[in-house]
Amino acid sequence: MDWNDSRNRFALEAVHLAASLVAEIQEEMVSETITKDDRSPVTVADFAAQAVIGYLLEQSFAGEVLVGEEQSDVLRLSAGQDTLERVAGFVSRVVPEVTPERVCDWIDRGGDEPGRKYWALDPIDGTKGFLRRAQYATALAYVEDGEVQLGVLGCPNINPDLQETSPGAGSLLVARRGGGSWIARLSDFDKPDRFSRLSVSKRKDPKDARLLRSFESSHTNTDQIDAFQRELGGEADPVRMDSQVKYALLASGEGEIYLRLLSPQRMDYKEKIWDQAAGSIIVAEAGGRVTDLEGASLDFSQGRTLKGNRGICASNGFLHERALEAIRVVGA
C-alpha cells in the first residue's frame, strides 16, 4: 500500500470526516423515543456526509466526477428549508462559515454520471442499522475503466477487532488494487503504522461456512438463502449484520459467504454501484472473491447500476465455486 498516494490520503481523510460527522448526528438525533417512521436523522446524515465529501473532492480533485446517492432537489424547496438548515449546521462543524446554497452545490456534485474514471459514494449504507443505532457504513470508492481501484469504508459502530460498539472507536478499512486490505481505528486515518492487514478465512469445508446475512430483507430472497444454506450443507450459525460492514467481516475472516439474491418483489432490481464498490475491493484484496450470481466479475462501467450483473456472491475464495453451484441448484 502506497500510503503517500494522493488519492489514498484523500479517501481516508474524507471518509474519516464524513463517518465521524454521521456518528455525531446518530448520537444527537437517534433516540429511544424516535418513532418508527421518522427518517429525519438518516436524511440529515445522508445529505451532510455527501456535502462534506463533495466539498473535500472539490478542494483536492476539482475536475473529478462524484457519483453519489443523494441530490438536493428536495432541500431547495420551501418545504425542505428546515432540513437544509439542519444539514448546514452539521456541515459547518467540518466546513466553518458554510452557506445552505453551498451545501446544496456540494451534494449535487454526486449527481454526475459515471465516466471512465469516477468516485462512487454511499454516505450511509445501512439506513435501518443507522436508525437502530446499530451497524452502517460510509463507503467511498475510486473506479477506472469499470474496475474498482480504491475502496474505503468508515464503520463508526464496529471496532478494528470486529466487536460491535455504539458509540465506540469505530473502524476504517481501505484497499487499493494490488496493495492489500487494511483496518485501523477511525481516528487513525492518517497513521499508516496503526493499520493492520486483513485476510479472509481459510475455511474450506462447506459445513463450516458462516453466512453473512442482513437484518434487512427487502433487497434479497430470504427463502432462497435458507435453501442455499441447506444445499451447501452449512451447519454454522449465520452472522447477521447491516450494510457493507458485512464485507468488513468477510475480509477479516469473520464469515465465509455473503449473497445478494433478488427479492421476489423486485426481480428487476439492479445493484447500485455505490452499494458494492468499496466493499468488493476490500474483500478481493484480502484474498476473497466477489462476482455476480453467475460467476461474472462486477462491471462498474455500465452507469449508476451494475446492470450487466445479476445479484452478488462474495466469499473467502475457497468456497466460491461450491457457492455458485449451490446457487444454480436452488435456482437463485
Is pLDDT of 84 > 90?
yes
66: Cα within 13 Å, side-chain hemisphere? 32
What mean pLDDT comes out for the span 208-220?
80
* pLDDT attached to residue 266: 78
List the beta strands (DSSP E) in 274-331: 289-291, 312-315
Report how far Cα 228 is from the mean position of its chain's Cα atoms.
24
Q: Are strands 312-315 and 171-176 parallel, antiparallel or unpaired?
A: unpaired
Q: Say whether 180 sits in a helix, a strand or coil.
A: strand
Q: What pLDDT digit, counting tens, does each position of 292-323 carry?
A: 999 999 999 999 999 999 999 999 999 999 99
d(CA 261, CA 220): 5
* pLDDT attached to residue 164: 83
Is pLDDT of 17 > 90?
yes
Which are the contacts of 42, defined by CB distance < 8 A and separation ≥ 6? 124, 127, 130, 131
What mean pLDDT comes out for the span 118-134?
94
Is pLDDT of 19 > 80?
yes
Element of type H or E holding 247:
helix 245-251
Is pLDDT of 104 > 80?
yes
- At residue 33 the predicted structure's pLDDT band, cuts being 50, 70 and 90, is low
Element of type H or E holding 320:
helix 320-330
CA angle in degrees (0–180, nearest 5) for 318-324-326: 105
d(CA 216, CA 213): 9
* pLDDT attached to residue 36: 66
Q: What pLDDT digit, counting tens, does each position of 167-182 carry?
A: 678 999 999 999 999 9
* pLDDT attached to residue 215: 74
d(CA 169, CA 188): 10
Burial class (CB in 10 A: 0-12, 13-18, 19+), 183: buried
Active site residues: 46, 127
CATH code reported for the domain at 6-197: 3.30.540.10
- At residue 26 the predicted structure's pLDDT band, cuts being 50, 70 and 90, is very high
CATH, domain 206-330, list 3.40.190.80, 3.50.50.60, 3.40.309.10, 3.40.50.150: 3.40.190.80
* H runs (alpha helix) in 30-99: 40-60, 73-76, 81-91
Between 222-232 and 320-330, two packed helices, what is the crossing angle to 10 degrees? Answer: 120
Q: Where along the chain do its domains lie?
A: 6-197, 206-330
* pLDDT attached to residue 262: 81
Average pLDDT of the chain, as a whole number: 94
Between 81-91 and 40-60, two packed helices, what is the crossing angle to 10 degrees? Answer: 50
Q: What is the pTM of this model?
A: 0.95
Q: Which range is least confidently modeled, 184-193, 204-213, 218-227, 302-311?
A: 218-227
Q: 261 is written with which cell numbers?
A: 439474491
What mean pLDDT comes out for the span 47-58?
98
Q: What pLDDT digit, counting tens, does each position of 227-285 carry?
A: 999 999 999 999 998 899 999 999 999 999 999 998 777 778 899 999 999 999 999 99
Q: Is the distance from CB of 293 to CB of 312 less than 8 angstroms?
A: yes
